Structure 1
């Protein structure tokens, strides 16, 4: 078998960037480079299919720039920003839809280039690849401030929100959800169990109009929800099945929906045996339902646009004096973990700009035992081998991020695919390449820039793999098995690294063909014995539970919440899947600013045997049990709202 070799990255068909040119990958989003290299195949496109008409991105502006300056320097023919981003003076972050002309202007227009510090790719699937309705123009004004919610307001960004559930009604039987925005746009969407073959637009007379300040999706007011509930009330009872059919919320036919469970923990009335009467159980609600395509993409790498848009929508429906608590029970595994991702930095700035009137709660993550994180010190002239087990029958792409601190320019990375005795050539910082099949289609890509848009400290090398299985014979598939990744320090100074495998599991009710990959090592304790569920500092394995953390939850101003067991012995207090506080491996060297410990804790299991906590099912009166720190953070949101 001949030794595998790297091929250069192509010129982007959409961006026009020659990704193989010297320095082209530096400061860029490596996921955008990979998406163009494989013709957006990871987003259900591929060779022979045209690239998207528009790309969704999230932008961080330069230190002295604000959103109106970017609007003034651009044209809606090639850059479109939702009007909601004009509402917050001083804001340096926004989402946008861009055409290829945007990238041409970045190369030729020094003023435009000076305004944009970095940007990341969003989720390039319909409807996010179409133009916005009524985007910002230089003459646009902030949204008029009338009819906005005051007092205490709870916001939720999630999927599967049963808006007619009795848990979300007031004592008069009216909905407390004053504003509901769904980010999808089609009848035949990617909701659980559905496999769309054609796309028909949602009916705005049923799903609600498109909110003018967001430019996509559909909005229902509280009055519209109440009117629909009245129309489908039979003998004093709301026919929830018929109601959701009318509102084109077919996903709510499922008895279990994540967002409904989470919202009930944040603001529901409790159970008949344990009723709760507090401010949260009476508060006004603003709910954002993520496009199911976002939920389908459990890597979470493309949630930046959708979550930031959702947060801006919630704030735009609240009066200046409102006390707002927003819960976001979703997340990812990869990322810088130091709060410097664009989404985390944007949330931090919004919280700061609102001066104590906005709080955001986020879960610490559920992957503590998943073997998706490695950390090791690299002395001079030493190497560390990682064995990345990529599973068979994985119909989704897999990603490994290798994070290095500043000053690690002498580290090289080599990759040995399964079944190959020799590695691909070792790659130094500043280089990138593709390993392709006989037809030139990429099996994997390694993108190793000197700096990255994914974070502001050090850099990230991205190793991206094609799926290991497809039902279509023409699709390219990567080999499954152990991929050997070797980091070698060729310099004279000791450095270190963190490796994070991106999330690739299956969300509730979905059938995506995703299979979570993981690290393996002979020294990692998988015995299940007492003491085997935490890291021991003296253990030589590079695989570390400590540091496995939701990468949406490492900001400075958001509040991360870990999971505990409500009833357990002191030694069994923590949910096994949750990061711990304090950190059992706290003395291990880390990159600057890395966050590994939750800010606070809330129950996510009832006891060691009975995992999960009870919350509302999709239908009124139904109760379900879900485990995970997604159930911890809404409980903290409730507490924060009560004392706001």
Structure 2
């Protein structure tokens, strides 16, 4: 027997008893339990100094007083100053803008002593926490000491108390500033699309934060490097010769390697969201309004380069995302507030976050989704736009229904030559009794695990290393419901001291041992494991496998819908990104320009709380045609274009539209939920100008519905609304909502409607 129980044992690094945590203690991250079991073998080794985490605080402290991120950060400078030996919080949270003084989410840098303090000093403070992925070996420069225990000051942005100067009335359009924040990887801040069209050319970017530290830099609390508009303009001026800017020299001076390649995801996303086209060579569908350029030049840009977990090797799971994404959003909101207050103007912010991952609770309860919803709820006027995801046909979602006393097997196919860990999350429904749900794991070698029930932790170690771990906790930090994590080591390793996990079909037997009651529906997701474009291929996406799953229609076309294939437990439904199921975020799907068909990969709803989200709020173009994948956007150097595909290309187009509407006054002015509640009690205030945090979603939904070029015919039958497919000799008749040229995308795929493209008539489609 090579399966060993870690139940009741303290973690080798954290010291936490993962299965013995009582109610009332902080909910812990099961991925940290996996890291503990493997001694961080796939994460660069056990951290010797500080690591970053994201924290949700309790509503009130142990003494009953209100607890906020600001008050907690302040206490580290006064009452709890001794805690700074093992926890530090950035000034970003100690000095928030006035709107965000009541937030409960923050990031921190901690030592492993933090975990020993969770059930003592921090009891009653921390509600849950997640680990920000540690630095992988490729990110450590030669000669850098891994034993550094002193948290350096760093060169990143630091803050003092925010100015509380009163702004002018929110209804004064001339005094209202629109900020567009873009957080991504590879933002070419010197590109002509982000500069003014005058001479000399000046940047339109107010601030740019590169979260990556310089080589050989010690880990810093205020990490990365910040550039202001004045600093960027100075660099542009120094490297201008004959009216032309040497962009390579600018990036070399800034020490910025994120755009060293010709193509970068962040540059295209930022261009699609806020790039101004100086000439006629541009993506025509973006020129929707005659005064678009005039409106966009009034939008002030703020960019954040995400900290990359490895500069030559990218972490493929996305587990690092929440920590650095919250830092990025809070940074943009603070800088926007600083600029607006300095000018005495009111302002609004549109944030584009073209990122996501696949596994998670999918009910809006993940820590980053709750943090985003809280920001939107409390900020004066904030819209956060995220993509729906690209996992519709990746076979990474399973829907398993178990009658009482029934067991079912799900097959997880893990691919060979995968140099990164693979993860499977199995989520129980809200009211399920976890003591009645058991699992068994069968490796391809046939060495099955014991039947595992709740509050158990097992590891598979056929040799010298742990290759698989099954973490079945009663409470997890990654969501509100119970989750079982099955983690696998890489199937390829070049380290002679590290064993590789066998590739092939892993089986997970799920059993409902209840003797009576209703059927139990469990959802499982395989975590994202794809290597980003431009990086050495390490991750290979694992997936579920079922002989009954139908991949094609008539053996020729990819089937992108579930209808007619319900006998398989693999589902395309509920594949929205794990950051796209929150209450207030604007979620954007993707469709093809030439025929209006939903992109095959564009993820499908509903979320597991269908009352909140049935699918994307709207869709935008992500593919020019079946032959021309993607839409054109800026390459990393001025004067060149490249194509970007996926819902990450659709989301920034909606961010662009919303920012323009804010400038022109077309979009409604938002106010925080707290202000909205007060306004409803005051009859003297106009209800028309008081909105709630859902207003951004509602505005996008209505705008998309108004512009959908092919509205459905009232009372028409499905067969009257489809066209034949020219690629097959005898095209089958397929109802609406399936493989067809749709009059309107179904809510699960396309939300309320699609944003119109200027090329519709050119392609023979009459709106």
Q: Tell me if both proteins adopt one fold, taking TM over 0.5 as the criterion.
A: yes
> Structure 2 stretches of 5 or more lacking a match?
61-66, 141-145, 168-174, 663-767
The alignment status of 1:507 with 2:507, answered yes or no, reads no
Secondary structure of the corresponding residue to residue 309 of structure 2: helix
- Who is 1:12 aligned against? 11
CA distance in 1, matches of 2:227, 2:118: 38
Given the superposition, is the C-alpha separation of residues 80 and 504 from structure 1 closer, same or farther in structure 2, using an over 3 Å criterion? same
8 A Cα contact 2:182 2:351, kept in partner: yes
Deviates more, 1:164-173 or 1:67-76: 67-76
- 1:292-371 → structure 2 map (5 Å cutoff): 292-293=308-309, 296-319=314-337, 321-355=346-380, 357-371=381-395
Counterpart for residue 585 of structure 2: 558
Provide the TM-score with structure 1 as the length reference.
0.87
1:85-484 matches, within 5 Å, as 85-86=93-94, 87=96, 88-109=100-121, 112-125=122-135, 142-144=161-163, 151-172=177-198, 173-187=201-215, 199=216, 215-270=222-277, 272-273=280-281, 274=284, 276-293=292-309, 296-319=314-337, 321-355=346-380, 357-405=381-429, 406-409=431-434, 410-420=436-446, 423-439=448-464, 441-456=465-480, 458-484=481-507
Instruction: Point out the more displaced range, 273-282 or 491-500.
Output: 273-282
Distance 1:278 1:377, change over 3 A: farther
- In the TM superposition, what is the alpha-carbon distance from 1:593 to its structure 2 partner? 6.8
1:577 corresponds, among 595, 601, 610, to 601
Q: 2:71 aligns with which of 69, 87, 101?
A: 69
Asked if the contact 1:415–1:483 (Cα under 8 Å) also holds between the matched residues in 2, the reply is yes
Q: Deviations over 1:327-354 (max 9, x none)?
A: 0101110111111111110110011101
Distance 1:359 1:327, change over 3 A: same
Which of the numbers 624, 629, 653 marks the counterpart of 1:635?
Answer: 653
> 1:26–1:450: 8 Å Cα contact kept in structure 2?
no
Measure, in 2, the Cα distance between the counterparts of 1:549 and 1:289: 24
Cα deviation, residue 513, structure 1: 1.2
Question: How far apart are the structure 1 equivalents of 2:442 and 2:37?
Answer: 20
Evaluate the alpha carbon distance shift between residue 26 and residue 317 of structure 1 in structure 2; reply closer, same or farther with a 3 A threshold.
Answer: closer
RMSD: 2.7
Work out the CA distance in 2 between the residues paired with 1:44 and 1:145: 44
Residues 590, 309 of structure 1: alpha-carbon distance in 2 compared, 3 angstrom cutoff: closer
Quick check: 289-298 or 227-236, which moved more?
Answer: 289-298
**Unaligned regions of 5+ residues in structure 1, if any?**
188-198, 203-209
Give 1:378 shift. Answer: 1.3
Shift of 1:4: 4.4
After TM superposition, give the deviation of residue 150 of structure 1 in Å.
6.4
- Contact 1:26 1:452 survives alignment (8 Å): no
Q: CA deviation at 1:145?
A: 6.4
In the alignment, structure 1 residue 52 sits paired with structure 2 residue 48: yes
The whole-number CA distance in structure 1 between the counterparts of 2:565 and 2:240 is 64
User: Paired residues, what number?
Assistant: 598
Higher relative contact order, chain-length normalized (CA < 8 Å, sep 6+):
1
Distance in 1 (alpha carbons) for counterparts of 2:267 and 2:601: 22
Secondary structure (helix, strand or coil) at the match of 2:118 reads helix
* Aligned mates of 2:266, 2:388 — CA distance in 1: 17
Give the deviation of 1:132 after TM superposition: 5.3
The answer on 1:32 being equivalent to 2:39 is: no
Measured after TM superposition, the shift of residue 434 of structure 1 is 0.5
Instruction: Give per-residue Cα distances to partners, 1:551-604, cap 9 Å, x unaligned.
Output: 1111111111100112205xxx10110024xx5xx7xx9577785611211111
2:187 is paired with a residue of what secondary structure? coil
